[in-house]
């Protein structure tokens, strides 16, 4: 156990110290994206990895978080941190509306519903004048400060904000994993009828998992809105965002605390690499690679790379 | 109240098939009731109705004076009815300890207490030293024991055991029967679906016999083994007729 | 006003038949083996590309290339089953969802890589243009697609009810164990269901290529609609899928007409949520 704590410490220390050693903005941006996707991946992992309910629509929560913040700030001047909280509230509501009818049915009903909700949210925002329709919303430029959640001269504060969010997400997942909730989630994934015979209200626990997932994804949407300062349907509620989350958690390891972390550290650089170096010629190759990995993992060993690493150590 | 469980004219159909036809009997508090009958008699269906995995089409089931027909299985468990399954179900991806802990969490929401409780319950079943094993790696009879341990961790007042003794050898059957008696002595009411007569007959206070969806007999084990209809159901007309001709020959 | 409504209804009906055909394959695979093919729409996309390239490279009109493409798609369906689905037939639903999801990503990635993301359209097909029937303009390719869809769906239904193999499929769909006891080889039946399912969506793709844009993401839209249709019709029911396809086609155009065309898909998708809320087994599903 001790060795693992030391590795963990080194990991976080590296993340904290990194920007002071390397000043190149591109890797910094990459790390911000890794931690952003890592946080969302942790959110997806709670509902998909632990509880076994596959969601193909988590991008909807990202979009709700981003749009809520953007609209409140640009139209009513409401502080983005409050926007973040309200975004979480709305996302949780969406989670309950989707989950409540679907969670008493078989898994594929839920999976399809999440795709449908993602599309509905995208169509809504693409055609809703109030939300900027297809053009989207430009976040008003404010004075640089933590309170305003905006920084213009350097990306550094964003880096540390997302680092804090990422760390909190990991701590949350750790707490869930070790608590009654984590155990119940895993039981539900393993054998829901058996879980019921032990007094577990399966639907309610699935809802809790989904709400946690929604909140973690929603705060990332808010962060992203304040990071890029311009949001529109394509960069916030794309189906591919949902799919990317599934991919990175699957690769990294379902139901393991660090699965999404490993997945993000592999997925983001790999996607960037293929995009930059292979360009338009190589478009789609990364998808083919991911597809093959997913099919192999789902067929042979659903624990992902993290699980395989853990196995090889013991 | 002396009757902890009252089954009143319970009927369950699947399409054209009547799996349970107007079954009625009561279960006395702290007793051991055996539910026996040939294959396909409807025993497990009745269990599923009592534990609310199925909804009975008609009739009522009452527990501690409250009607429980039509509620959901998790509510039933929280009220105090636990069960095992005919085909053993355990959480394959979890360890032995974690399996029992899922049960313990019902009455011990905190993780430390749940783990402690699970260790205690596990020890009763001889799992000390095996807690970190993957549940899937256990033998079938160990898995069945794990299933009972898990159900017991929810502190039930009534425990429904579905073919717990299937596949056990004579020694194991004896141990299982003794264990059931111990459970009864600790205050739990037990209903056992069984085919292993050597296991259930010596310990049951009452035996209910089902055949083809109907209740054909109810009484003490002694009454049951001499009941004409029971013999007919198990051994068929020919044997029954033969035995009537020669009562000395068994 | 009346003319516009009638026009709308007719076009909704026509596209509804195509939706029905796409859904029939999807629901059949589910009915026979309890597997939801999340990549179903991308097989549609594949057949659309086949039709497009056969036209561009060899000048073959979609109506002529249809038989060949159907055979190829049948083969692809069978191969898909043996390579990717059979290994996970007894795995938990989670694995099944991820494997067909992996197929979805694979097919889209392949399409992006091979043919780029550009929108393509077959120019100058055999069936083109429109004609006027009592004041209503009916597009010829749309009509042909609808007729083709009805014929194909009907053929599949006839096959299921009147041939030995078809009845065996229905038997496996109803009760796998009982079918096995009767000597039906479920493995072959599963392969057959995939073959027919993918072949039927191939028919739909070729018919659509006459008038619909071809691009890697086109499968997504149709697949989602197919899910709504399958849910409304009842998972596993071919007849239900056919009826539901028509209903969904009509809902789409009517909601576009009554409320706003940009939101019509939103209403179709909300129909799915309504089905799940109110009557999960759909019109004709079991359970």
Query: B41: domain CATH number?
Result: 3.40.50.300
Q: Specify if B30 maps to a domain.
A: yes
Q: 3-state secondary structure string, B132-172?
A: CCEHHHCCHHHHHHHHHHHHHCCCCCEEEEECCCCCCCHHH
Q: Which residues contact C263 (CB under 8 A, 6 or more apart)?
A: A123, A124, A127, C255, C256
Q: Do B93 and A183 touch (CB under 8 A)?
A: no
Residues B208-230 have a mean pLDDT of 89
Q: Specify if A1 maps to a domain.
A: no
* B102, B147: one domain: yes
By CB atoms closer than 10 A (0-12, 13-18, 19+), residue A270 is: middle
Q: Specify if B87 maps to a domain.
A: no
pLDDT of amino acid C88: 86
Which stretch, A102-116, A194-208, C250-264, has highest mean pLDDT?
Answer: A194-208
pLDDT of amino acid B80: 94
Interface test mutation site (partner A, options C80, C93, C103, C106, max chain A beta carbons within 10 A): C106
Q: What does the pLDDT look like over C150-186, one tens digit per residue?
A: 999 999 999 998 998 888 888 888 877 788 788 788 8
CA distance C30 to chain A (A): 11
Question: For residues A280, A281, A283 and A288, what is the CA-based torsion angle, rounded to 10 degrees?
Answer: 180
Q: Do A196 and B73 touch (CB under 8 A)?
A: yes
Give me A84's structure tokens. 């973040």
Q: What is the CA radius of gyration of chain C?
A: 19
Q: Specify if A278 maps to a domain.
A: no
pLDDT of amino acid B240: 62
- b/e C240-279 (16+ beta carbons within 10 angstroms → b): bbbbbbbbbbbbbbbbbbeeeeebbbbbbbbbbbebbeee
> What's the domain range around B180?
3-80+156-245
What are the DSSP E strand ranges found in chain C?
130-133, 136-139
Q: Give me the half-sphere count of Cα atoms (radius 13 Å) on the Cβ side of residue C238.
A: 26
* B98, B215: one domain: no
Q: Do A285 and C276 touch (CB under 8 A)?
A: no
Q: For residue B159, which phi and psi values (nearest 5 degrees)?
A: -125, 125
Nearest by CB to C273, which of A111, A116, A243? A116
Q: What does the pLDDT look like over B90-118, one tens digit per residue?
A: 999 899 999 999 999 999 999 999 999 99
Q: Nearest CA to C221 among A119, A245, A291, A238? A: A119
Residues C239-264 have a mean pLDDT of 90
CA distance B242 to chain A (A): 45
* B98, B140: one domain: yes
In chain C, which residues have their Cβ closer than 8 Å to the Cβ of A58? Answer: none
Single out the residue in B110, B130, B155 at which a domain terminates: B155
Q: Do A123 and C263 touch (CB under 8 A)?
A: yes
pLDDT of amino acid A314: 47
* B76, B164: one domain: yes
Task: Write down the mean pLDDT value for chain A.
Answer: 89
Q: Specify if A75 maps to a domain.
A: yes
Q: Specify if B86 maps to a domain.
A: no
- Indicate the number of domains in chain B: 2
pLDDT of A75 higher than 50: yes
CA distance A10 to chain C (A): 34
Which one is predicted more confidently, B194 or C132?
Answer: B194
* B151, B41: one domain: no
Q: Do B53 and A186 touch (CB under 8 A)?
A: no
Residues A201-229 have a mean pLDDT of 96
> What's the domain range around A146?
34-238
Cross-sheet strand order for the sheet of B66-67: B17-28, B3-14, B58-63, B66-67
Give me B176's structure tokens. 């299982």
Q: What does the pLDDT look like over B24-80, one tens digit per residue?
A: 999 999 999 999 988 888 899 999 999 999 988 999 999 998 999 889 999 999 999
In chain A, which residues have their Cβ closer than 8 Å to the Cβ of B151? Answer: 197-198
Cβ proximity of A257 and A170 under 8 Å: yes
Nearest by CB to A196, which of B74, B90, B103? B74
* Chain A contacts in chain B segment 107-146 (CB below 8 A): 109-111, 114
Q: For residue B34, which phi and psi values (nearest 5 degrees)?
A: -100, 135
Q: Neighbours of B (≥3 Cβ pairs closer than 8 A)?
A: A
Percent of chain A with pLDDT over 90: 59
pLDDT of C263 higher than 90: no
Q: Specify if B250 maps to a domain.
A: no
pLDDT of C208 higher than 90: yes
DSSP string, A144-203: SBTTTTB-SS-SHHHHHHHHHHHHHHHHHHHHHHHSHHHHHHHHHHH-HHHHHTTT--HH
Nearest chain A alpha carbon to C282: A109
Cβ proximity of C90 and C101 under 8 Å: no
Q: Nearest CA to A184 among A29, A22, A50, A40? A: A50
Nearest chain A alpha carbon to B115: A180
Single out the residue in B155, B172, B203 at which a domain terminates: B155
The whole-angstrom separation of Cα A176 and Cα B103 is 18
Name the packing angle between helices C40-58 and C218-233 (round to 10°): 140
pLDDT of C256 higher than 50: yes
Whether B87 has its CB under 8 Å from any CB of chain A: the answer is no
pLDDT of amino acid A311: 62
pLDDT of A280 higher than 70: no
CA distance B234 to chain A (A): 31
pLDDT of amino acid C184: 81
Give me C35's structure tokens. 């597997």
Residues A167-172 have a mean pLDDT of 96
pLDDT of amino acid B237: 62
Interface test mutation site (partner B, options A183, A197, A205, A302, max chain B beta carbons within 10 A): A197
What are the beta bridge partners of residue C285?
none
- ipTM here: 0.89
* B206, B114: one domain: no
Q: 3-state secondary structure string, A29-95?
A: HHHHHHHHHHHHHHHHHHHHHHCCCCCCCCHHHHHHHHHHHHHHHHHHCCCHHHHHHHHHHHHHHHH
Task: Count CB pairs under 8 A between chains A and B.
Answer: 76
Q: Specify if A68 maps to a domain.
A: yes
Confidence of residue B248 (pLDDT cuts 50, 70, 90): low
Residues A249-277 have a mean pLDDT of 88
Residues A114-124 have a mean pLDDT of 91
Q: What is the CA radius of gyration of chain B?
A: 19
Cα dihedral across residues A107, A112, A115, A121: positive or negative: negative
Give me B158's structure tokens. 């009534």
Q: What does the pLDDT look like over A11-45, one tens digit per residue?
A: 888 988 888 888 787 888 999 999 999 999 999 99
Percent of chain B with pLDDT over 90: 62
Give me A151's structure tokens. 């920084």
pLDDT of amino acid A58: 95
Give me A206's structure tokens. 């699935």
pLDDT of amino acid A307: 66
Q: Specify if A207 maps to a domain.
A: yes
- Indicate the number of domains in chain A: 1
What are the beta bridge partners of residue B60?
B8
In chain B, which residues have their Cβ closer than 8 Å to the Cβ of A190? Answer: 91-94
């Amino acid at each position: 156990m001790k060795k693992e704590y030391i590795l963990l410490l080194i990991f976080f220390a590296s993340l904290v110290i990194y920007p002071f050693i390397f000043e190149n903005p591109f890797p910094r941006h990459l790390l911000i994206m890794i931690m952003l996707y890592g946080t969302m991946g942790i959110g997806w992992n709670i509902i998909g990895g632990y509880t076994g309910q596959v969601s193909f629509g988590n991008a909807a929560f990202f979009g709700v978080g981003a749009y809520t913040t953007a609209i409140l700030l640009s139209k009513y001047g409401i502080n983005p941190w409050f926007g973040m909280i309200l975004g979480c509230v709305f996302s949780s509501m969406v989670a309950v509306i989707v989950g409540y009818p679907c969670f008493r049915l078989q898994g594929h009903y839920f999976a399809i519903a999440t795709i449908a909700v993602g599309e509905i949210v995208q169509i809504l925002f693409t055609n809703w004048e109030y939300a900027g329709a297809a053009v989207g919303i430009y976040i008003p430029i404010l004075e640089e400060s933590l309170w305003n959640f905006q920084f213009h001269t350097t990306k550094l504060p964003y880096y540390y904000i997302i680092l804090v969010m990422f760390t909190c997400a990991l701590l949350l997942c750790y707490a869930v994993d070790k608590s009654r909730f984590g155990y119940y989630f895993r039981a539900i994934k393993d054998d829901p009828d058996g879980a019921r015979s032990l007094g577990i209200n399966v639907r309610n626990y699935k809802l809790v998992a989904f709400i946690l997932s929604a909140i973690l994804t929603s705060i990332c949407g808010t962060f992203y809105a304040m990071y890029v300062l311009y949001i529109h349907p394509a960069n916030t509620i794309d189906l591919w965002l949902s799919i990317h989350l599934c991919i990175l958690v699957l690769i990294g390891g379902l139901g393991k605390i660090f699965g999404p972390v490993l997945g993000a550290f592999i997925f983001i650089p790999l996607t960037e690499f293929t995009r930059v170096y292979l360009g338009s010629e190589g478009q789609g190759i990364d998808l083919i690679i991911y597809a093959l990995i997913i099919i192999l993992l789902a067929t042979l060993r659903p624990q992902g790379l993290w699980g395989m690493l853990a196995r090889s150590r013991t | 109240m002396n009757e902890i469980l009252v089954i009143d004219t319970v009927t369950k159909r699947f399409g054209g098939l009547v799996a349970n036809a107007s079954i009625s009997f009561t279960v006395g508090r702290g007793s051991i009731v055996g539910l026996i009958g040939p294959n396909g008699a409807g025993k497990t269906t009745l269990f599923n109705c009592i534990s609310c995995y199925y909804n009975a089409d008609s009739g009522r089931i009452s527990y501690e004076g409250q009607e429980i027909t039509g509620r959901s299985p998790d509510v039933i468990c929280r009220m105090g009815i636990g069960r095992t399954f005919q085909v053993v179900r355990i959480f394959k991806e979890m360890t032995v300890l974690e399996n029992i802990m899922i049960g313990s969490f019902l009455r011990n929401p905190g993780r430390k207490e749940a783990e402690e409780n699970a260790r205690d319950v596990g020890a009763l079943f001889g799992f000390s030293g095996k807690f970190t094993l993957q549940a899937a790696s256990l033998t079938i009879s160990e898995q069945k024991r794990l299933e009972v341990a898990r159900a017991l961790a929810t502190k039930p007042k009534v425990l429904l055991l579905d073919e717990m003794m299937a596949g056990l050898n004579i020694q194991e059957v004896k141990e299982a029967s003794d264990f059931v008696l111990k459970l009864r002595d600790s205050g739990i009411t037990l209903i056992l679906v069984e085919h292993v007569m050597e296991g259930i007959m010596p310990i049951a206070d009452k035996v209910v016999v089902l055949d083809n969806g109907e209740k054909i007999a109810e009484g003490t084990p002694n009454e049951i083994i001499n009941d004409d209809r029971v013999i007919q159901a198990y051994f068929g007309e020919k044997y029954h007729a033969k035995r009537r001709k020669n009562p000395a020959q068994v | 006003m009346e003319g516009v409504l009638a026009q709308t209804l007719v076009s909704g009906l026509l596209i509804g038949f195509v939706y029905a055909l796409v859904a029939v394959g999807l629901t059949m695979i589910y009915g026979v083996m309890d597997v939801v093919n999340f990549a179903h729409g991308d097989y549609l996309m594949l057949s659309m590309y086949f039709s497009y390239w056969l036209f561009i490279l060899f000048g073959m009109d979609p109506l002529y290339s249809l038989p060949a493409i159907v055979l190829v798609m049948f083969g692809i369906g069978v191969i898909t089953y043996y390579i990717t689905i059979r290994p996970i037939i007894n795995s938990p639903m989670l694995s099944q969802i991820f494997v067909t999801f992996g197929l979805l990503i694979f097919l889209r990635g392949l399409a992006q890589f091979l043919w780029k993301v550009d929108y393509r359209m077959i120019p100058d097909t055999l069936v083109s243009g429109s004609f006027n029937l009592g004041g209503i303009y009916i597009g010829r390719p749309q009509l042909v697609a609808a007729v083709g869809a009805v014929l194909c769906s009907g053929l599949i239904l006839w096959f299921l009810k009147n041939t030995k193999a078809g009845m065996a499929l229905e038997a496996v769909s109803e009760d796998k164990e009982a079918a096995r006891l009767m000597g039906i080889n479920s493995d072959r039946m599963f392969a057959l269901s995939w073959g027919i399912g993918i072949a039927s969506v191939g028919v739909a793709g070729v018919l659509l290529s006459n008038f619909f844009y071809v691009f890697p993401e086109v499968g997504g839209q149709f697949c989602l609609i197919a899910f709504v249709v399958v849910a409304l019709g009842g998972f596993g029911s071919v007849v239900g899928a056919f009826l539901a396809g028509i209903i969904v086609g009509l809902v789409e155009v009517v909601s576009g007409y009554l409320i706003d065309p940009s939101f019509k898909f939103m209403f179709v998708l909300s129909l799915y949520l309504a089905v799940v809320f109110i009557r999960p087994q759909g019109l004709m599903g079991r359970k």
